[in-house]
Amino acid sequence: MSFPGNFTWGVATASYQIEGSPVHAGGGPSVWDLFCRREGAIVNGESGAVACDHYRDWRDDVALMRELGLKGYRFSISWSRVIPNGTGAINQQGLDFYDRLVDALLEAGIQPWVTLFHWDYPAELYYRGGWLNRASADWFADYTQVVVDRLSDRVQHWMTLNEPQCFVILGHQSGYHAPGLKLDLPDVLRVAHHSLLAHGRAVQVIRARSKTAAQVGFAPVGTVKSPATDTAADIAAAQQSMFSVTNRNLWNSTWWLDPVFLGSYPEDGLREFAAVLPAIRSDDMATIQQPLDFFGANIYHGELCRAGTDGQPEDVPYTGSTPRTLLHWPVVPQMLYWGPKFYFERYGKPIVITENGCAQADVVSLDGRVHDPQRIDFLNRYLRELGRAAADGVTLAGYFQWSLLDNFEWAEGYRQRFGLVYTDYATQRRIPKDSAAWYAGVIRANGVE
């Protein structure tokens, strides 16, 4: 299997899912702190108030990462830990936390890959209209500057937004995630537009202020389609479907990626949403389309697609016998072949898989260890497909497994375990699972043997 020599093997986490609440250390609350208090919002009424207590245990967690032999660690910064009200006064204690983390990572030989926003939007800014307020883009740019000024002498890899599709659609349309809004489509599109503007403004700030040569990208959801068979017709159908906007559905790739990489909203999307488009100012698209160094994508699953009898793409439903993870996500390893391939063909940037992994029902066995053969099998299969994409000429720059630790899985609470390392939430003890040793072997071999 052919991964490039300088390939970054890493793991990914997010601030609210592992750190424990910012409120304890001079930070301010985020929309997730608010949302977790809402009755029925989170399974078992849980929250990220403590999570993996990484804010206190970060040294041990970096030691675990060193043992894994990681080349990169993708983590996010809590905006309201750094700037409690979202704008204005800085919480130095919060900024110091990330400063020390970066130093420790570098000392362990691990490149820090920083995500500026992984969903924990400052509560105070939410009260000022949140992403509905166009000023969000400026607020985000100002926050970015604070972080970049402090960390960019050592951090070279930046991602602006994690999965805008999720925090916009789940957070503002279906209400399943924070801030739990169920807005009408025109307002959802407005939120989406402002988030893309925030991305563009943040890239400008990173380029202008970074003290080292910055590598910048972002980490959208890869809404991937794979051909149901290897026929040319099905391949073409999958590719066409993966890059279209239909049924006013915002779960797509192009509405989010074409502006960022190509500088315009896709034609079919503009037709779909014609009656409900937000105000788009003349220079907005130029602001959104900033030069990026890599194409990040979080890919866990996707849809199978074939050419229908009328020649148009049609999805092929999964069946009861489709293998699934604990979250019921279908296990479809070929998404890590077709996703990178189709994205590379359309956008032409080196691909980084910014997240991939699976939730399994991991338990501590009588021998005190955590055996997770399903996760090993899952990763093995997906990585083989990624290797196949590399062999077929897709430029790949990195792969970040989700996640280092079992952590707070948003509305699912703690019952979904995604980690290479088991978290015993009662004691905060960490137990590396069998998959951790397996992944360390992959990193040593630069691929699956």
Closest-CA residue to 71 (of 448, 444, 449, 447): 444
To the nearest whole angstrom, how small is the minimum distance from the Cβ of residue 118 to ligand FCB? Answer: 6
Sequential DSSP letters for 373-404 = HHHHHHHHHHHHHHHHHHHTT--EEEEEEE-S
Q: Is 46 in the site for ligand FCB (CB under 6 A)?
A: no
Q: Which two tokens stand for residue 376?
A: 């090993």
Output 30 or 162, the one with its CB closest to ligand FCB. Answer: 162
Q: Is 166 in the site for ligand FCB (CB under 6 A)?
A: yes
Output 298 or 360, the one with its CB closest to ligand FCB. Answer: 298
Task: Give me the long-range contacts of 36-45 (CB less than 8 A, separation at least 24).
Answer: 36/178, 38/180, 41/180, 41/411, 42/410, 42/411, 42/412, 42/413, 43/411, 43/412, 43/413, 43/415, 44/413, 44/414, 44/415
To the nearest whole angstrom, how small is the minimum distance from the Cβ of residue 409 to ligand FCB? Answer: 5
Output 287 or 403, the one with its CB closest to ligand FCB. Answer: 403
To the nearest whole angstrom, how small is the minimum distance from the Cβ of residue 223 to ligand FCB? Answer: 12
Which amino acid makes up residue 429?
A: R
To the nearest whole angstrom, how small is the minimum distance from the Cβ of residue 392 to ligand FCB? Answer: 26
User: Residue 298 contacts by C-beta under 8 Å, 6 or more apart in sequence?
Assistant: 162, 163, 219, 220, 221, 222, 353, 354, 355, 356, 402
Check 272, 303, 355, 409 and give the catalytic one.
355
Catalytic: 314? Answer: no
Distances in whole angstroms, Cα of residue 59 to Cα of each of 53, 64, 106: 11, 9, 13
Which amino acid makes up residue 221?
A: V
To the nearest whole angstrom, how small is the minimum distance from the Cβ of residue 282 to ligand FCB? Answer: 33
Contacts of ligand FCB in 379-418 (CB under 6 A): 402, 409-410, 418
DSSP annotation of 313: E
Judged by CB under 6 A, the stretch of 18-26, 63-71, 162-170, 244-252 that binds ligand FCB is 162-170
H or E element at residue 353: strand 351-356
Output 355 or 362, the one with its CB closest to ligand FCB. Answer: 355
Contacts of ligand FCB in 186-215 (CB under 6 A): none
Output 161 or 442, the one with its CB closest to ligand FCB. Answer: 161
- Report whether 400 contacts 10 (CB < 8 A): yes
Q: Is 167 in the site for ligand FCB (CB under 6 A)?
A: no
Catalytic: 107? Answer: no
Q: Is 163 in the site for ligand FCB (CB under 6 A)?
A: yes
Number of amino acids touching ligand FCB (CB under 6 A): 11
Three-state SS letters, 174-233: CCCCCCCCCCCHHHHHHHHHHHHHHHHHHHHHHHHHCCCCCEEEEECECCEEEECCCCHH
> Cα–Cα distance between 163 and 251 in angstroms, integer?
11
DSSP E strand boundaries for 90-199: 111-117, 157-162
Task: Pick one of 47, 136, 162, 210: the residue that binds ligand FCB (CB under 6 A).
Answer: 162
Contacts of ligand FCB in 289-328 (CB under 6 A): 298
Give the per-residue contact string, 328-357, with ligand FCB (x = CB under 6 A; - = no).
---------------------------x--
Check 19, 46, 124, 163 and give the catalytic one.
163
To the nearest whole angstrom, how small is the minimum distance from the Cβ of residue 358 to ligand FCB? Answer: 9
To the nearest whole angstrom, how small is the minimum distance from the Cβ of residue 204 to ligand FCB? Answer: 24
Q: Is 14 in the site for ligand FCB (CB under 6 A)?
A: yes
Output 256 or 265, the one with its CB closest to ligand FCB. Answer: 256
Closest-CA residue to 338 (of 228, 196, 179, 209): 228
Burial 428-447 (b: 16+ CB within 10 A, else e): bebbbbbbbebbbebbeebb
Q: Is 241 in the site for ligand FCB (CB under 6 A)?
A: no
Output 111 or 162, the one with its CB closest to ligand FCB. Answer: 162
To the nearest whole angstrom, how small is the minimum distance from the Cβ of residue 179 to ligand FCB? Answer: 16
Output 318 or 329, the one with its CB closest to ligand FCB. Answer: 329
Residues that bind ligand FCB (CB under 6 A): 14, 17, 162-163, 166, 298, 355, 402, 409-410, 418
- Which residues are designated catalytic? 163, 355
